[in-house]
Amino acid sequence: MSSYGSALPSAARSILSSCRPAARQSPMAPFLSTFYQQQLRGAKSNNPQAQGKGKKAAKAKPKKGAREFTQRDLKDIQQFSLCDAMRYIRAMEVGREPTISKYEIHIRLKTKKDGPVIRNMLRFPHSVQTESRICVVCPSGTKHEKDARAAGAVLVGEDEVFDAVKNGKIEFDRLICHPDSLAALNKAGLGRVLGPRGLMPSAKTGTVVEDVASRVEMLRGGTIYRERDAVIRIPIGQLAFSPEQLRDNLRATIDQVKKDASGLNDRIVKEIYEVVLSSTHGAGFSLNGEFKSDDSPDTTALRGV
Amino acid sequence: MVNLFKRMRKLRSILDVTVGTGAAILPTPATSTKEFPPITRLHLTYAQKIYNGHQGARHFWRQCLPRLKYHNPSIPMTVKQTEEQDGPAALTIYFAEHASNAATLNAAKDINDKYAPAAGESEKTAVVDLRDLDWKRIWDKVRVMTGAKEVQASAKEEEEVKKLEQMAVQSVKDQERNAKIRQTKRDQERMLQEARGEVERLRQT
């Protein structure tokens, strides 16, 4: 009896093991299809390293899990034209302060889980924020200080900035540092205060620069964005914007993101996969790329409060 | 990333915006009659808390205004939430040229809503007192005063609303069933744990 009992699991095991290779064949199909698309496009067709890093690698080491963010087929999803989405969002946001409620865009990317992320700054054709306040840390009494003030920085200096921050008075949205005063900034030990707010200057984020004045100029109309978990989220317009204004901003954003994606690295392939329009209090509407549909209202109706 | 089906289920909330009480088309310059002149804008003022009868006004904003806005996208609608509990709870309706007869009959004369934007030269306003009114009654009043034509839900939409209701009922049932399953699992684990403890104790003695 006992021998029979022990034989059964082993038999089951052999059946399972015979099945397994067949089961493993299935992930091969999507990989092949993407590979095929790449060849069709003629981009990176003979780059074995890049291809090896895709789902093939995941197949060799199943413990590591998927190497790419899962992107499901968008066929079953309801998608909207820009004007229709705006009509719904404006209805959901009715009665809110039009300068406070913002349209947001969520750009979902087809990308790997590791590797570099997109991270940049963007200037919209139609400014979203009401003037951001900028603080500059640079040695006082120098040319840089004068330039920064002329460019429109709110707070400029070294010790006065440190004192203000230590007293908990952070009356600015961005902090830029000149390399000459970086040592002083690090010595002041403000990382604990500024770090969690994302204000600590570092060369990586482009907030430690020689040419302070031009950076201030740029930051005053710019919005920072970065990719998190394969999604880039950016506020893209105020609720009072007209569809045309929103379309201009949307176009600028997508162009910039595409440029960033192509500028990253030869081996990294990032593609825009889905664009979702939502707002501060509204639902998310997947866009189908059209500007307006047949039954969407006149564009003049979709602006203001 | 959120599951697509979850997202789509969530997006059914747009049905709430298109169908229901308050889904109506207000008279526009094209559809207005002599009796009901076109509406140019709406403004609602109410206080933050519900005391002194401000509840209905807020519910009206939450329930009816999105639907009105969806069906009348070109009419500006503003809402002001004040902290003055004794202040007015009022809806100001702006008519082009002249107010409708129903509006002049129903309008409250003694309410001074300082937050409402000033009427233009050719505009006439009618103020509705919303204090101590249920939001459905507020909507009835507004409909009578403006001559709004209610939008009937299409058969497809009605079907979908019904389906959603059924899903809500079913989800309560499923929740109960799942809770029961989880509870029995937890009980079993606890009993196993206790039995193991018993064995340990026996071994030690």
> What are the residue boundaries of the structural domains of chain A, listed by start?
2-64, 74-113+230-302, 134-220
* Distance from C-alpha of B163 to C-alpha of B157, rounded to nearest angstrom: 10
Considering chain A, what is the average pLDDT of its residues?
Answer: 72
Output the pLDDT for position A122.
82
8 Å CB contact of A95 and B79 = yes
Output the pLDDT for position B80.
92
Residues B24, B71 contacting (CB under 8 angstroms): yes
Paired with B93 in beta bridges are: B42, B126
Question: What is the model's pTM?
Answer: 0.71
| A88, A90, A231 member nearest B14 (Cβ) | A88
**B15 at A interface, C-beta within 8 A:** no
Determine what percent of chain B is predicted with pLDDT higher than 70.
100
Q: Is the pLDDT of residue A40 over 50?
A: no
Range with the largest mean pLDDT of A21-30, A288-297, B85-94: B85-94
Tell me, what's the ipTM? 0.86
Query: Tens of pLDDT along B93-125?
Result: 999 888 888 888 888 888 888 888 888 888 888
* Distance from C-alpha of B199 to C-alpha of B192, rounded to nearest angstrom: 11
8 Å CB contact of A300 and B69 = no
| B8, B61, B70 member nearest A91 (Cβ) | B70
Q: Which residue of A has its CA nearest to B46?
A: A95
Determine what percent of chain A is predicted with pLDDT higher than 90.
12
Output the pLDDT for position A20.
44
Fold classification of A134-220 is Rossmann fold (3.40.50)
A positions 73-92 inside 8 Å of B (CB): 74, 76-78, 87-88, 90-92
Per-residue confidence at B1, pLDDT binned at 50, 70, 90?
A: low
| B8, B17, B74 member nearest A92 (Cβ) | B17
In the β-sheet with B39-47, what is the strand arrangement from edge to edge? B77-82, B39-47, B90-96, B123-129
DSSP annotation of B84: -
Output the pLDDT for position A263.
82
Per-residue confidence at A278, pLDDT binned at 50, 70, 90?
A: very high
8 Å CB contact of A297 and B74 = yes
8 Å CB contact of B14 and A69 = no
> Kind and range of the H or E element at B77?
strand B77-82
Homologous superfamily (CATH) of A74-113+230-302 is: Ribosomal protein L1/L10, rRNA-binding domain (3.30.190.20)
Closest Cα of chain B to A269: distance in Å? 19
Q: Is the pLDDT of residue A22 over 60?
A: no
B positions 74-113 inside 8 Å of A (CB): 74, 76-79
A69-79 CB burial, b ≥16 within 10 A, e <16: beeeeeeeeeb
Tell me the average pLDDT across A59-70.
66
**A298 at B interface, C-beta within 8 A:** yes
Residues B112, B137 contacting (CB under 8 angstroms): no
Closest Cα of chain A to B71: distance in Å? 9
Considering chain B, what is the average pLDDT of its residues?
Answer: 90
